[in-house]
Structure formats: C-alpha cells, structure tokens
Structure 1
Amino acid sequence: MTTAEHRAELERQLLESEQRYHAFTELTSDFCHVCSRIANGAYRVQWIGGQFERITGYSEQELYDFGCWLPLVHPDDRERIAAGLLKMADGDEVRTEFRLVRKDQHVRWIREHNKCVQHPSDPDQLLLYGTARDITAAREDALALQAAENAYRTIFNATNDVIFIMDAQQGMIIDCNKQALELFGRPREELIGANPAQLSPSDHSAFSFEQAQRYILAALEGEPQLFEWLCARPDDTTFWVEVSLRAAEINGRQRLLAVVRDISERKRLDAVLRESEHRFRALVENVPHLPVQGYDSQRRVIFWNHASELFYGYSSEEALGRQLEDLIIPSFMREAVIQGVQQWIDEDIPIPAGELQLQHKSGQLLDVFSSHAMLRNINGELEMYCVDLDITQRKLAALELQRTRDAAQAATVAKNEFLANMSHEVRTPLNGIMGLSQLLRTTNLTEEQAGYMDMLDGSARNLLTLINDILDISRIEAGSLAIQQTPFSLAKLLREVAALYEKPAAEKGIDLTVQLPDDLPPALVGDPLRLKQVLINLVGNAIKFTSRGGVSVQIHRLHDSSQGSRLRFEVCDSGIGMAPETLQKIFNPFTQADASTARNHGGSGLGLAICRRLSELMGGSIRAESSLGQGSCFIVELPFGRYAGEQVADDTQPAVSILQLEPLQILLVEDQEVNRTFVQRLLERQGHRITPAVDGLMALDLLGREQYDLMLLDIQMPGMGGEEVLARLRQTEQASGLHLPVIALTAHALAGDKEKLLKSGFDGYISKPVQIDQLMAEMARVVAMKGTFHI
C-alpha cells in the first residue's frame, strides 16, 4: 500500500472513530470537551461534543469563537476555576462544581471532571479532557432536602416536649432533642442507646423493661400508645411523664417516635385536687348542722349529706333519686320552685339566697336560710347544690328581741311621758311660786321682806336647776338629745356667760376673767346652747367653790383644718381643789367630793356628769386637773366647723328693746289661776291690756268677738288644749288673711318640744316657770316680726 493510500485509510478510520464518538456523546446528558493549554496558561477548545448547546444555549461555533468555555463560568466562580486549571499537571484529575451562565442568562450548576495528559505527538503540550454534567435539579433537590432537614431539626429541638427516636428492633434511643437532656438531667451520650426502662426507678416493677417492650410491640403493630411513665434523674429525683408512642418510617427505615411530656405538675395538682375533693366531701358529709343537697337538671337528688338526714328526717337511701319538690318543698311552693330551677337552667337566672320554709319528713315546716349554686360536672351536665342553715333559733331570738325592743320602746315612751308629765306637774306650781315672787317684788317691801324674797327666789331657782339637770341627764341617757350645728359668735356667747356670773363673783369678792385668742374666727359652727350650758356649769362650780382669788376662762386654738377648728376651754379657779381619788369619780352622776360638799355648797351632783356627756356628744372631751387646797382646772376640747357665710351678728343689745313695745291688747289663756294671775298682773304693770281666758273654748269665743295684738297660750289645759286652739285659729285666719302672733306657755321642756310647737304654727315659745325678762324679750321678738313696735 502506497503512502498516500495508507494516509487515506487512516483518515477514513479517524473519521469513522469521530463519527462513532459524536454519536455516543449525543446520547449522553453531559457534554465533553478537549482543550489544549496555550502559552499564557490558558486553554483553547480543540473539540466539543455532547449536550453543550442544550446545557449552555451556545452553539459549538460560538464556543470556538470564545476560544474556551471559561468565559461562561459565573463571575463569582470564575477565578476559582481558572486557578484550579492553571495548577493542573500531567496525570492530574480534578472534580469541581460551579455555576455557568447560559446564553439566556439563566444560571445552571455544573459538575465537571477534568484530566490533564500529554499530547501524544508533542510531549511539551498538555491536553485537558473533560466531561460536564448539569446538576441544577439535583442540587436544588439537595438544597430542598437540606432545608427540610434543617426545618425538621429546628422543630425537633424547638418543641417544648421531649422527642425520642428509637430503634424499632431493639427499642433503644438513637436520637433525642435538647429538651430530653434538660428534662432527664443527663448528657446526650447517656440517653443514646438507652432503653426507656433504664430511665425509670429500678425498684418500680410497673416500669420495667418488659412493660416497655409491651408498649413498643403494640406501637409496631400499628396501635399508637399513650401512657404515663415514672422517670428518674441521676440524683434519684422522680418525675412523671406522658408518652405518645407510634411507629414511623424515617429515611426509609422503620423507627419508633416517642413524644414525652412532663406531667409532674399536673400529677401534683391532681393529687391536690383529689385530696381537696376528699377533704371537701368528708367535710360536707360530716359537718353537723349544715344540710347540703345536690340535684341533677331534672331536680333528682344526687347528694344528701348526714346533716340533711338529721334535719329533714330522710336517710340518704330514701332521698337519692327522688324529686326535690316531692321531698322537702311544701305544696304551696312547689310550682314556684320548679319554675325557678328551670329558669335557672334555661336562662341562667339564679335562685337568690334567702329565708324560706322547707318541709320535714313529718310534715313540719322548718325555717331555713338557703343558698344555691349551679355547677357543671366533669361530663358538662348541670347540677344544683343547696346549702341550708337552720334559723329556727335565730327566728325565735329575733322574735324575742323584737318583743324586748318593743318593751324597751314602750318603756322609753312611758319614761318620756312620765318625764313630760313630771316636768309639767313640777314646773306648773313652781311657775306660780316664782311668778308670785316676781310679782311681790313690784310691791313695797321692807328690807326684811326683800331678804325673804331673795331666799325664796334662790330656793326656787335651785329647784328649777335640779329639774333641768334631771331632765337633761334623762334625755342624754335615752339618746334623745340632739346636737345642733349652727353658726354662732363665740365672743358673744362668752360675754353672756361672764355677764351671768359678774354679780355672784363680785358678791364673793373674787375676780372673773375671760381671755380670748387674738386669732379667734369671727364665727364657728356648732351647738351654742350646749356649749353655753357646759361653760355655765363649769364657771358656776368654780365660783361656788372659790372664796379667795379668782376664776379664769381661757380659750386656745389647738389646730385648724379645711373643715374647721379644735378649741380648748380652760376654766380654772383658786378654790378648795380636790384629792386625786375625787378626780376619778366627779364626772359620775349624783357624785360629789364627799357629804360635806352637799351640805356646804349644795348641788345634785349632776352638773359635771352632764358636762361630760355633752362634751362627748359634741365630739370632744373633758378632764379635770386639781390638787387639794390648790384650786382646780377643768379642760374641755371641742371641734367646731368652719363658717363660710358672712359674719354672725354680735350685738350686745337685743334687736328690739322691751321698753319700746307700745301697749298691747293681749289674750292670756291659762287654766291655772296662780299662773294666770301672776302673768296678768306683771303685764298690766307694763301697760298692756290683758283679757284672761281659763280654757280653750273660752279663748276661741273671745277671739271670735274681739281683736288682739298677741295671744299667750298655755299648752296643757283640760278639755281643749293649746295646740287645738291654735289649729282652729289658723284655719279661721286662712279665710280672713289675718295672722295673730301666738306664744306658747308650757311646762313641757323636753328635747324637741320647742321645735315641735314652732313647727305647728306658734310664733314663740316660753317654758315654765316663766321669767318675766324672758317673756318680755320673746314678746318683743314676736311682735317685731309683725311690726307692732317703735324704733
């Protein structure tokens, strides 16, 4: 064969070989390449085949134009791939993965296998043979699988429950989450490979290896298991868990999946609840005198404690299952009870607790206080429970208390009536005595007669003081003396007290001083009448028991607030003083220092008791400081309100003088001749014209025939009393439009008498015994209201 023929044969064989290789590479999913290294270390494509165009989007010719496929590598991977190729030498093989940018700019992941060899005809030249495969789908699957694995692992470790993955054949733990390490207090190495029985107390047969295997086998047979298991930590502390065990296929293998939850707290609470329920049931069952019953939604008895047996007469066996209304509900209440229970069930309107009568087995009605509760049992069914309290004795006690209260009220009424009658019966003759005494003073008396009159007046006034003290202490003890809150001038009140005792103090040759603070409020709010009564009593006592020196009244401001002020009144004397044992009892009623006190100084022993009671009623206190022979000091502390109005009038003279009254035509209605005569004569000496009437009927007759400027009307008269006379007069005046001023003359001086009479229509009020100066002042005030006076 010639040389030319030999070459032609070789070319033919080479062409056939290339055709066969091209055909083979076209059948693969890869593309292949042969590159030669050029002078600068780069490579140039000599041959390309396979799925290059499908994978890259470029034609083979475009690659030949690039010279090499390296420009197709993603920019972030290109430097790494180029550096790797540059380091390759003869015989080196390199497997690598990189990103390739297709012609359409989509990125694909490529896995390439390259081998470097010498050129067969030129040992100095290196050839690079390589195959490249598109692994984008596989890589995405791997990433998805990794993401799923990461998500699974995150959930595996993030769940609050313990998770064990166990070998299905041997029942050993092969994986666990971090919660298992925390709950069991063991490192991972101790848990992996352990059987559940090894995590339990060794002395508990109920949690043995055999028992664990029974649960495992049942789970492998397709029956999920849920059970409680007692576990132990290395320090021998035990805890309860709830295990949910089931078979599962993981990574193609059959496994056991155990979800373990710590239920120690639940078990503890269950034990507490059971103990509480046991204790409650024992309490309810055995507590005496507290019947408790339970009923279902059909009102059938489901609970009947021992106290109910004793109280209602039915044993538990007799009561259980019976209807409420047929057991203890009286016939007159049955319909209402049935409706009430049903309304509670249907509309959630509870039956209120309260007193009612229920029926004993014998038919006897029992007084009870019944409370009710509607509850749901563990099945969600409604149950009503009733707790009944036997109030029979309480009802009897209430009736007895009411009888006692009625008797006490009747006694109080009788006492008040007695006091009112005694006041009237004593004041009426005393009014005559004092009135005639005043009348006698208007006549020409000898010096001796005047002295007798002074003694008579003194005795009468002492008797009046005693009567007033007895009435006051009785009213205080009966709680019928009310403290008023009215604005008043303290300065004026103190001047009046001082004026009352200026003459007695001067007659004994002792000084009487009153000292007010410079910053005293111009007006206070309190009860000026009772304050004046306390001060008069204290100042009068001080003068009575002082023969040398003096008596002082001092007022101090203790503190102020937005509501008012608290003041301290000190009434001090330089008198005989008291021993310490006397100080402890002087504020008790009818108590004096000793028998000689009453003999030498008089008095009933009620004054200081009244002072203490009045001070306490006004919200204050009183105390005494004294030494025998060194004088005494009585200290009263009282609160007063702040007066927000204008300054209270502090006049030292009455608004209308008695002497300014012009002669009046006066109707005097008084059934007692002595009292009528005394008042008539005194008023006539003042220039007034008096028409006397001995009873109410006569007064009405005179009113129908004559006109009068003023009427003085006794309240308690035989036949028609003063209040009825006034009522008829006012009724007549409604038609005429006239108004006759009427002053009540009464021996009734109890609390509320004055207010009651003024409210009924009287214009003025004078209590007996009548003091002529008080009567004239009241007449002036009443007449001034009508306008019959001169200025």
Structure 2
Amino acid sequence: MRNNVSDLENKVILRQRAEELQHKKNLSAKSKISEVEALKLIHELEVHQIELEMQKEELIYAKEQAEIAIQKYTELYDFAPTGYFTLNSSGKIIELNLAGSQLLNKERSKLIDSPFGFYISNDTKLVFNRFLEQVFTVDEKECCEVNLLLENCKTINIYLTGILSENKKEALITAVDITQLKLTETALRESEQRYRYLLDNLDVGIILHNRDTSINFSNPKASALIGLSKEQIIEKQSLNPTWKFIKEDYNILPVESYPVNQIINTKKALKNFIIGIQKPESLSFNWVLLNGFPVFNSYGSIAEVVMSFIEITELKKLQIELTNAKEQAEAANKAKSSFLTNMSHEIRTPLNGIIGFTDLLMKSHLNHNQTEYMNIVNESATILIEIINNILDFSKIESGKLELNIEEVNLFELTHHVVDIFKYHADLNKIDLALHIDTTVPNYIFVDSIRLKQILVNLIGNALKFTKTGSVQLKITSTINIENEKYSNLHFSVKDTGIGIKKENQEKIFHSFIQEDSSITRKFGGTGLGLAISNQLLGLMDSKLELKSTYGIGSEFFFTVALERSNFKPTLENESVKKEVEIKVISAEDCVGKKILVVEDNKINMLLVKTLLKSILPGCIVLEASDGEKAIKMYKKEKLDLILMDIQMPHKNGYQTTAEIKHLKKYNNIPIIALTAGIMLGEKEKCLESGMDDYVAKPIIRRNLEEVLYKWLKKEPSNENN
C-alpha cells in the first residue's frame, strides 16, 4: 500500500513538473530558456525515470514473495496432519484442507457444501450440535470429542477445536484423529483396573510412602495387618503412627530404625526384614516379612518408597517351637552324653577290677578248672567292655565328633595281631582261621590303626560267631590307585562257611541295633551295632562295607579302601633298639624307691592299681588318698615322684585337685597321670588341658601303665617339695 501511495505522489509531482515545463516552454516562445536550465530539467527527468524503474522492480519482488507465501500457506494448510474445516452457521463445509478430506475418506470437491454433521455418529451428534452452537454463540474457543462414521462402517474418534472467524459468519474447525490415543487410554485404564484388582486381592500388604514418610497408598491386606482402615492409614507418618513396630527380641523398634526411615537414610533397598506390628489398642501383634525399595526421580532424589510385607505369624510361632525343640534336643543330647559318660565310668570302674584281678589270677598258680573259669570271667568282662565301646563309638559317630587319627602302620603286624586275638577261640571250636596277604600288598601304610583293627575285629568276630564248622579267612589284595600313584587300593575280605544271611535280610543288617532276626539275637547274642559301626567307620575312609551271602552256605564281607603307602623299611638296628626299649620298660631298674601317690575313691580299683604297681615296680613306695582333699594334704606332707589321679571323686574331682596342686608354692612339676573310666571324645584332651601330664584309660592295661610309668619316672622334677 505504501508503494502505491508513493507512485501516486510521484505521478502528481511529475505532472506538476511537466506542467511547469510546458508553461516554461510556452514562455520560451516569448523568451529563450537558458541552456543551464534545460540541462537541469533533463537531469531531473532521468532521475525520476530511474526511481520509477526501481519501484517497478520492488513491486515485482513483492508480488513474487506474496505468491511464495500464499503457496507455503496453501501447502501447510493442505498437508498439515490436522484436518482444517471452515463451516457456516448451518454446519455446511465451506472450505477444508487435504488432511480433512482424508479424515472423512472423501474427495475434497465432493465435501464442499455438504453438512459436516452427516459424518458424525448418532451417539455423538448431539455433542457436535451443541459444540457448533457454542462456537457461533460464544466468542471463545470450544472443544469436544465425537465419533466419525465412515463409509466402510469404520468408526474413528476425533477431537474438535472451533473458533469464530473475524467476519463472525464462519467457524474455523480443527479435527485431530485420537483413535489410537483412546485405545491407549482404554488399555491403560483396563491395566490399571486389573493391577488395582490384583493389589486389592493380593495376600501381601502394599504401602507407598512419600518422601516425608507419609503414606499415600495402601491395599486392603495392609489395612488388615496393621489394623487400620485405608482412610486411617493415608497420610500417616512414621513419626506418629498409631501402631507399634516390635523387634525380634520383643522390644519396641526405635523410630530411626523404622523400615521406611532406613530406606530413606541409606537410599538402599531393605530385604527380608522381620518385624512385629502391634495393632492399635491391642496387646497382640502380627509378624511380617518386609521388603522395600526407593523410587528415584530424574534428579536422583527419592520420590517415594514402596513397601511390601507378608504375614509370617504362623511361621514365627513354628520357628519358636522349632527353637524350643532344638534347645530341648540339645539338652537331651547333653543329657545323653552325660549319661553315656556316667554309664561308661560306672560300668568300667568295676570291670577294671574284674579284668585286672582275673588277669593277675591267671598268671598265678591255678589248677586247670580254675584257669578255665578265670578265662571265662576275663573273656566275659572283655566282651562287656567291647559292647560299651561299641555304644560309645556309635554315639560319637552319630554326633559327627569321631575323627580319624592317621599314622604310619605296619599292616602285616596289625592283621596278624587281629588273627592272633581269635586264634585260641577258633582252635577251640575247630574252625580253620586263616590269613592270606597278597604279595602286592604294601607292608607299611598310613591309616587309623585302631579303627581299621576295630573293623577287622568286628568282621572276624561275627564270622566266628555264626560259623559252627569249616573256615574263616581274612584275605588282603592290592592294586595301584590310578588317580594317585602314592596310594594303593587295598581290598579286605572276610569269608566264612557259616549259616549265611537270607537275601531279604542282607540290607537291614547294616542298620543300628538290628540283626537278621530276633531268633539270631537270642541264639548268638550281640547289640547289632558291630556292622553298623564298621560301615560308618569305613564311611569316614570314603569306603563302604559290602556283602555276598548264600543262606546255609556262608557269607563274605568285603571293602576296598585307598590308603597311602609308606616307604619305611625296618632294619636290624631299628629292631634291636625296639627290643632294648621294651626291656627297659619292663625292668624299671631306675624306679626303685620312687614314691607314687594313688588318688582313687574306689577300694577295688585302689587295690588293683597298688597290686599292678608292686608287680611292675617292686621297689616303689605306694601312698593312698581316697579323695582330692586328702591328695593335696599328702602332696604337702610327702616328697612325691608321681601321682596317679582318678577323675570322678567326691568333694574334689581330679581336675580341681590337679589345679590346686599346680597352684601351690611348693609345686615341683611332678607328673600327674589321669586314671579315668571315661573314654568319650575329648576326655584325654580335657585332662591334658586341666594340667595333667598323661592319661591312662580304665580298664587299665598292664602294658599301657608300664609305658607311662617308665616314661615319666625317669624324668627328675626340677624342684623338690618339702
């Protein structure tokens, strides 16, 4: 517009100048125009001509820009993703863009002058009519959601936005397809309903805490466990809850240790936290297993805390019951151990006297019948000792307290000794007892000699027990262990020609306290522990006992165990030293005049120990004390060389007596040897820890007592007591 005004003004100016020039030309007829004035006039005309050309170029450029803008607007209008419609007051389409025609699925030319409401579904037509009326009535933007019903019976959801045009005669409408959005909203709503249903019906309490620990959500299970309604729980803070949290020790949990506070303070999840919830105005409480974790916002701060908990009240009660049962079982186990210890002591104490004195009697001048009777008494007592040992071994194995003592062993000597134990009994019953050792078997091996001997004694003893005629053979063969060449696989077999075992009973004989049948027990006797203990001992050696048996023909018990071979080779020098030591032990020439105090409350055992001491050390002086207090008085009074101390005594036991003696100012480090009938695991260690120097088990074996006496009496005490 401005350029048009300028053009008009220039035309007026040019007109005026042209008229002036014409006027001057007319005057020139009367008077001549100067040459200078003519040149100025020509210059001005040229300048105005240039200006007119520049203005023409500007007009052409402006027209081109306007055409470009119109083209861009048309493209934006037509190809915009939103449908644009221009409607008159009656709802007819005056103008629409390409997106609008595509939305209605018709050509644009066919939609002009057609009513827009024709394409609205019946269920939303009322909404559209109200919307159109509002657009023409209220000079503000209006919105609504309607459904379009297309030719292929397809329904889509659209969102309409309308505003009145400047001339107030037309409505400018935008239409956006929100079908997918509505489907998503529906899916989200259904998902929310589904998960809300799950939360409401879960048997797990769920609580959401805000950053300030207040509660903004809880499900019905949480309300039931806490004892408050959903409305009562909401907005409760951990600082002022109406319920109480109880620790596992039944004390009140401090506020700073509340689960939500722990999570907020540490910013870490809380897992498997056991806590009790005491309901309001109630003395009872529920135990729950709680888990929680923080939810962080985009800034890395905690937005909320999610807590879940399940009720474990019944499990907690069961745990308490199990704990009580465990304590009772442990108490019962301690009582059993105490009973076995006392039983061992009480039974072994009189057996000590029986075996000791029968052994002494058999070495005296007896006639044939007396010797036979003494042998029977001694053998019976020995069998009783073996039964006690089996019961105690079984108890130790069951509790897992039995350990193997691996040492270098002469396998040939050990097996010959085992066979020699039964040789007399076998010859007496006219049974051929044989030992066969293959040439490949190593002479020296590393093994627990006591336990291996115990296994072989059990197997051979059983074989002889159930064999009336024929033979019993112990056979040992060997092969090299493929995994480790230092080891040999030793195969032990005890084969007999006895009564055999029925096939249906071959499995149960390895169970504790069970024999093949009750008639066998009545006829042959026994506890039924021998095979069970042997098998358990072999289990400690990574082996097991196996059986081949034919009823009425015989049985073969066998096992294979991997044992390390020893490179030890005996020499003549070693054998001579061994014999020299044995001579020194039994001669005891250095022990003449030695004072030995025997502390023993049992008169029979006291007599036995005194008798053995006089027999082993004829020149020694034996003093007596029947309890710990008398032993201490005797120590203060006499100059002693050795004390043999019983463990279980009245007033003061052996441990207490030893401790008091060692704390005396005049204690001169004389050896104190324990004499005890207790053989439970740790008995020897307990004696040594209490300050005793050595240990002799009852029943007392003469050879064991000889070795201990020789070992300690040749050591002179460092200081003398007065």
Task: Calculate the TM-score normalised by the size of structure 2.
Answer: 0.67
AA at the equivalent of 1:465: E
The alignment status of 1:439 with 2:344, answered yes or no, reads no
1:422 maps onto 2:346 in alignment: no
Distance in 2 between residues matched to 1:520 and 1:256, nearest whole Å = 107
Counterpart of 1:753 (choices 668, 680, 683) is 683
2:609 is equivalent to residue 609 of structure 1: no
CA gap of 1:514–1:603, structure 2 versus 1, over 3 A, is farther
Note the C-alpha offset of 1:511.
Answer: 1.9
**What are the residue-to-residue correspondences of 1:683-762 with 2, within 5 Å?**
683-687=613-617, 689-695=620-626, 696-732=628-664, 738-762=668-692
Unaligned runs of at least 5 residues, structure 2: 1-40, 88-92, 166-170
**Are the aligned partners of 1:293 and 1:305 in contact in 2 as well (CA < 8 Å)?**
no
CA change 1:319–1:468 in 2 (3 A) is: same
1:142-200 CA distance string (max 9 Å, x none): 99999999x999xx99xxxx9345454539874469xx99xx9x9x99899889x999x
Q: Tell me how far apart the structure 1 counterparts of residues 65 and 567 of structure 2 sit (CA, whole Å).
A: 101
SS in 2 for 1:421: helix
Quote the residue 1:574 is aligned against: 496
Confirm or deny: 8 A CA contact 1:354 1:369 kept in the other structure.
yes
Please state if 1:767 is matched with 2:689. Answer: no
**Aligned counterpart in structure 2 of residue 278 of structure 1, from 166, 173, 197:** 197
Letter of the 1:442 partner, please give it. Answer: K
- Residue 8 of structure 2 is matched in structure 1 by none
1:163 is paired with a residue whose SS is coil
1:459 aligns with 2:380: yes
Per the alignment, in what secondary structure is the counterpart of residue 81 of structure 2?
strand
Please give the secondary structure, in 2, of the residue aligned with 1:510. Answer: strand
Question: Is the CA contact (8 Å cut-off) linking 1:621 and 1:636 kept in structure 2?
Answer: yes
Cα pair distance change 1:341/1:225, threshold 3 Å: farther
**Aligned counterpart, 1:44:** none
CA shift at 1:482, angstroms?
0.9
Distance 1:303 1:333, change over 3 A: farther
Query: Structure 1 pair 534/345, CA: closer, same or farther in 2 (3 Å)?
Result: closer
Contact persistence 2:410–2:445 (CA under 8 A): no
Q: How far is 1:583 from its partner?
A: 0.6
Aligned 1:44-443 pairs, distance under 5 A: 163-169=81-87, 170=93, 174-175=97-98, 205-206=122-123, 211=128, 214=131, 223=141, 256=174, 258=176, 262-263=180-181, 264=183, 267-281=186-200, 283=201, 305=220, 308=223, 312=227, 325=240, 327-329=242-244, 336-337=254-255, 347=265, 353-356=273-276, 358-361=278-281, 363-369=282-288, 371=290, 387=309, 389=311, 391=313, 400-443=321-364
CA distance in structure 2 between the aligned counterparts of 1:528 and 1:280, rounded to whole angstroms:
68
Greater radius of gyration (CA): 1
Deviations 1:339-372 (A, max 9, x none): 95995798577999443452444x4343543747
In structure 1, runs of 5+ residues without a counterpart are 1-18, 31-49, 52-132
CA contact under 8 A between 1:670 and 1:692: conserved in structure 2? no
In structure 1, distance between residues paired with 2:231 and 2:334:
57
* Cα offset, 1:410, TM superposition: 3.7
Identity %: 22
User: What SS is found at the alignment partner of 1:586?
Assistant: helix
Deviation at 1:553, TM superposition (A): 3.7
C-alpha displacement of 1:779: 4.3
Distance 2:548 2:129 in 1: 93
Cα distance, 1:422 vs. partner?
1.8
Q: 1:599 to 1:292 in 2, by over 3 A?
A: closer
1:668 aligns with 2:592: no
Cα separation, 1, equivalents of 2:478 and 2:151: 82
1:676 aligned counterpart, secondary structure? helix
Which moved further from structure 2: 541-550 or 380-389? 380-389
Residues 598 and 619 (structure 1 numbering): CA distance in 2 closer, same or farther, change over 3 Å?
A: same
- Following TM superposition, by how much is the alpha carbon of 1:465 offset from its aligned partner in structure 2, in angstroms? 0.8
Shift of 1:539: 3.8
> Aligned letter for 1:280?
L
2:508 to 546, 569, 585: 585
Answer whether contact 2:358 2:378 (CA < 8 A) is retained: yes
Instruction: Quote the RMSD (CA, aligned, Å).
Output: 6.1
Q: Which amino acid aligns with 1:278?
A: Y
The worse-fitting range, judged by mean Cα deviation, of 164-173 and 537-546 is 164-173
TM-score by length of 1: 0.62
Distance 2:232 2:581 in 1: 92
Aligned partner of 2:388: which letter?
Answer: I
Equivalent in the alignment of 1:512: 435
Q: How far did residue 672 of structure 1 move?
A: 2.5
Q: In the alignment, residue 769 of structure 1 is paired with which amino acid? A: P
Determine the C-alpha separation between the residues in 2 that align with 1:766 and 1:779: 10
Pair 1:762–1:342, CA change in 2 (3 A):
closer
Q: Which amino acid aligns with 1:591?
A: I
Contact 1:746 1:767 in 2 (8 A): yes
Distance 1:300 1:476, change over 3 A: same
Residues 481-515 of structure 1: CA distance to partner in whole angstroms, max 9, x if unpaired?
413265444x6467524422245257442322345
Please report how far the alpha carbon of residue 430 of structure 1 lies from its aligned counterpart in structure 2 after TM superposition. Answer: 0.7
What displacement does 1:435 show?
0.6
Q: Distance in 1 between the 2:109 and 2:562 partners?
A: 85
Q: Cα gap change, 1:215/1:764 in structure 2, threshold over 3 Å: closer, same or farther?
A: farther
Amino acid at match of 1:719: H
Letter in 2 for 1:496: L
Separation of aligned partners in 1, 2:58 and 2:668: 128
